[in-house]
Amino acid sequence: MPITTPFTPKTLAARWGCSERHIRHLIERQELPHFRVGNLIRIPPQAVEAHECPNLLKSASDVTGDTGLQHGQPRKEPSGGRSVSRLPLIVAKPNVH
């Protein structure tokens, strides 16, 4: 059953096992799509799923494109010409001693 209720920074932090501040930093850096209801921040479930599993939500044409690359192969970025791996983002708890 898909999630349909938007996340708050607090509920998303609990899901990912990180701090609420980390979620707010992702939003401030525009790495996590969000919307506002008045002053409240809400994160759509589709944005959370895309951030958790970026490769699973791409269509076959997005993954291969016109370059003929197969899933998992690095792509050349136009800005710097560096190869970037398209592996899923792993969110982990910080090491606290």
pLDDT at 54: 76
- pTM of the shown model: 0.55
Q: What is the 3-state secondary structure (H, E, C) of the chain?
A: CCCCCCECHHHHHHHHCCCHHHHHHHHHCCCCCCEEECCEEEECHHHHHHHHCCCCCCCHHHHHHHHCCCCCCCEECCCCCCEECCCCCCCCCCCCC
Higher pLDDT, 5 or 55: 5
Higher pLDDT, 87 or 22: 22
φ, ψ of residue 40 in degrees (nearest 5): -85, 140
Q: How confident is the model at residue 66 (pLDDT cuts 50, 70, 90)?
A: very low
Mean model confidence pLDDT for the chain? 74
Indicate whether 46 pLDDT > 80.
yes
CATH number given to 1-58: 1.10.1660
* In the chain, where the domains are located: 1-58
Indicate whether 23 pLDDT > 60.
yes
